[in-house]
Structure 1
């Protein structure tokens, strides 16, 4: 069939469904492993699953966490879905999953924080270098991360609280973690001189930015390439 053959489109959607199910299983395993790792290090961590595209569920979760501890010191938003395809092969449904998970989730979270009696000292939104450089097959993901920065900046202006969007470059694999890029995407980054971030250094860079960075700065780009 031709480019518009419905069988080809159905095959693409089926592949996406399989990939989403596989990613969900792997994500659950990684969550369990991370919690075990934190416990072994003596840290107390609680995990709860909430769809932050659901405003009521998000508001309830934020209020319950605030009530449990009496305060909310900081928030890190790192939600995201990747379904890389060329624009000609992207479906509206796939685009919305990628774009909406990032933007609707952040908007709902930030709105929920405004319902608290006192806002957090900071809200960090995890963006992507794709919002700055673009990536082949990631038009939806690049657009979502660019919009994420705008959402954070608007929230900061509206509330007076600190919001920082970090447009991360690709992270290197370490230990049981596979990193954040496929081999193909890693090669594409390497072609453009974008090196992989060492996880320990990336974590330290975020802490340095929160401790000593200018609070009026709304977004930073972090890579391992010495830019």
Structure 2
């Protein structure tokens, strides 16, 4: 097969190379570029794009780029990650740092996990960027807005958010109290909403658009067999629907809003749960098509993809990464 592919005539090869120097523009794209734009603001041009940026009516071409996947480049971008003192939020924050972003972790813990210091040092010494920590309870809306505004003022921009702050509680529906239900919703739904709102206000203020990612769950789509958490599942369903509605309202400002719905993730909290319910260690992997549970690191790529220009035409979508759990 490979020898057959190399038998392209040199004249044809030269012709293909000469054609590659001509900007790719079909009649369809000419027609599209003539249409009135729905909004003026939008994200800046992806690195090394030879033509106008996204949201200008022209699709930038990366053909023959000298860099590898430049649309994933987050250099000079400022991104906030809530719930990033540990776990999934911190892992995704590190992925954004590796892509070049300046990252601020927001969490209510007084002190982040030991891994935070390691990643912070790596950002400064190896990656040429920075990871900062701001302690905040997402239910404190006034302080939340003050912190987000302070960060935006410092950098003169606001480019992205991953809203990963959330809690879990396993209680049968017949025993759930109104107080516990309200507490769950105040963090998992209202807290996510207010964090997205605070960040979007800064994106609108600077007029450059941006990307907002809300962490939902496959539990927002299905009822988990053997895991009794009605309020949590309802809260994650609300996050998915919230994402769609924010996308519909904020698209006019060049702000994209998407959700990620992870499957079961092996974290320290889940390991502790397995100690209490050892049968789940055996049963949960059988409930998806890959026959195993996921690790926080398996969601790094999703974070970089959705925050970056690699997903520039994606909004109002839910990216479900559950090993096929909900596809049976």
TM-score range, shorter chain: 0.7 to 0.9
Deviations 1:85-108 (A, max 9, x none): 111121111111112211110221
Distance change (3 Å), C-alpha of 1:132 and 1:30: farther
- Deviation at 1:207? 2.5
Distance change (3 Å), C-alpha of 1:40 and 1:67: same
Q: Aligned pair 1:157/2:243, yes or no?
A: no
Deviating more after overlay: 139-148 vs 194-203: 194-203
CA distance in 1 between counterparts of 2:232 and 2:281 reads 16
CA distance in 2 between counterparts of 1:55 and 1:29 reads 18
Distance change (3 Å), C-alpha of 1:224 and 1:40: farther
- Secondary structure in structure 2 of the residue aligned to 1:197: coil
Q: Aligned pair 1:207/2:304, yes or no?
A: yes
Q: Aligned pair 1:196/2:293, yes or no?
A: yes
Deviating more after overlay: 187-196 vs 159-168: 187-196
Deviations 1:79-138 (A, max 9, x none): 111111111121111111112211110221222234321365211111111111222311
Q: Aligned pair 1:169/2:258, yes or no?
A: no
Match of 2:170 among 84, 96, 101: 84
Specify the alignment match of 1:13 in structure 2: none
Specify the alignment match of 2:237 in structure 1: 146
CA distance in 2 between counterparts of 1:28 and 1:52 reads 12
Bigger-Rg structure (1/2): 2
* CA-atom RMSD in angstroms: 2.6
Q: Aligned pair 1:98/2:170, yes or no?
A: no
Q: Please list every run of 5 or more consecutive structure 2 residues that lacks an aligned counterpart in the other structure.
A: 1-107, 125-129
TM norm structure 2: 0.54
- Deviation at 1:224? 3.3
Match of 2:123 among 37, 42, 49: 42
CA distance in 2 between counterparts of 1:99 and 1:188 reads 28
Match of 1:110 among 178, 181, 196: 196
Q: Aligned pair 1:218/2:309, yes or no?
A: no
Aligned residues of 1:100 and 1:144 also touching (Cα < 8 A): no
Structure 1 runs (4+) greater than 4 angstroms displaced:
27-30, 185-188
- Deviation at 1:217? 4.5
Deviations 1:131-179 (A, max 9, x none): 1122231110111011111222211211111111101112234xxxx26
Specify the alignment match of 1:128 in structure 2: 217
Specify the alignment match of 1:75 in structure 2: 161
Specify the alignment match of 1:18 in structure 2: none
How many equivalent pairs are there? Answer: 197
- Secondary structure in structure 1 of the residue aligned to 2:319: strand
CA distance in 1 between counterparts of 2:198 and 2:298 reads 31
- Secondary structure in structure 1 of the residue aligned to 2:215: strand
CA distance in 2 between counterparts of 1:92 and 1:60 reads 30
